Amino acid sequence: MNLIVVGCGRVGAELSYRLFKSGHQVIVIDSNRESFNRLHSDFRGRTLEGDCLAENVLERAGIKEVNGLAAVTNSDTLNAVVAHTAHTFYNVPVVVARNYDPNLRVVIEAFGLQTVSSTFWGAQRVEELLINPTQRMIYSAGNGEVEVYEIVVPGIWGGHTLGELLEPLTQCYPVAVTRAGRSALPEMKTILQAGDVINVSTTYEGIGGLTSRLSGKAEA
């Protein structure tokens, strides 16, 4: 794929290198030539110094032919404008904008753009690890609004059905049940055994309710 990365800060440099190592054709745009020093020594993509809002710079980067663009500068406003321009005026198929300030996230999303909010997701993930270290998050969608957790069934829930555990909760949906190394699609009538592993798709609020039930803080 032909891809443009706008911004060669720490995130942009790492992203550009990962894309290059995966076999993609990458061009990195930044207004500061010294920013390209952050790129890995064996990066063989293109670099372009210039104002990423300038039409001639974007077109020199090949924006009319690229498959995707990531705007990952340290300015939410700049990322939103560049991403919106790529999506609306150049019809770039896939556009992603990085967001720093959670308060400005809705502004970027209002453009209908894919957004990665490192501050919001990072803070939520650290909180999860601090408060519920026994639960393992194995997949995160979007910016962590929906996640899939791996939950080990404690002894107090052995003999109860999956429905008894989950049906009183909102925003908790079973994905799989694994027992003795073998996984199956879940049924609410499945009788749980201590040590079963349940994969649950849920929200941040949902995992809080499930945690309480599993620990016996809510009525079983």
- Does one domain contain both 116 and 141? no
User: Would you give per-residue pLDDT tens digits along the chain (220 residues)?
Assistant: 899 999 999 999 999 999 999 999 999 999 999 999 999 999 999 999 999 989 999 999 999 999 999 999 989 889 989 999 999 999 999 999 988 877 777 777 777 777 787 776 677 667 666 666 556 777 877 767 888 988 888 889 999 999 999 999 888 999 999 988 888 998 999 999 988 989 999 988 888 888 888 877 544 4
Residue 73 main-chain phi, psi, to 5 deg: -70, 180
- Does one domain contain both 98 and 137? no
- Does one domain contain both 101 and 158? no
Domain end (from 63, 93, 121): 121
Dump the DSSP string for the chain: -EEEEE--SHHHHHHHHHHHHTT-EEEEEES-GGGGGGS-TT--SEEEES-TT-HHHHHHTTTTT-SEEEE-SS-HHHHHHHHHHHHHTS--SEEEEEE--GGGHHHHHHTT-EEEEHHHHHHHHHHHHHH-TTSEEEEEETTTTEEEEEEEPPGGGTTSBHHHHHTTSSSEEEEEEEETTEEE---TTPBP-TT-EEEEEE-HHHHHHHHHHHTTSS--
How many other C-beta atoms can be found within 10 angstroms of the C-beta atom of residue 77?
12
- Does one domain contain both 112 and 149? no
- Does one domain contain both 74 and 23? yes
Region of 50 on the Ramachandran plot (φ > 0 left; ψ -120 to 50 alpha; else beta):
left
The pLDDT assigned to 5 comes to 97
Q: What is the pTM of this model?
A: 0.65
At residue 54's C-alpha, the angle toward residues 57 and 38, to 5°, is: 60
- Does one domain contain both 92 and 22? yes
The pLDDT assigned to 129 comes to 61
Kindly report the length of the chain.
220
The pLDDT assigned to 181 comes to 81
Query: At 111, which CATH number?
Result: 3.40.50.720
44 belongs to a structural domain = yes
- Does one domain contain both 114 and 136? no
Domain end (from 60, 95, 121): 121
Domain end (from 121, 153, 180): 121
80 belongs to a structural domain = yes
User: From the centroid of its chain, how far is CA 154?
Assistant: 29
* Domain assignment of residue 189, given as a range: 132-214
- Does one domain contain both 106 and 159? no
Cβ contacts of residue 129 below 8 Å, gap of 6+?
A: none
Q: Write down the residue that tokens 């957790």 correspond to.
A: 149
Number of domains in the chain: 2
The pLDDT assigned to 128 comes to 63
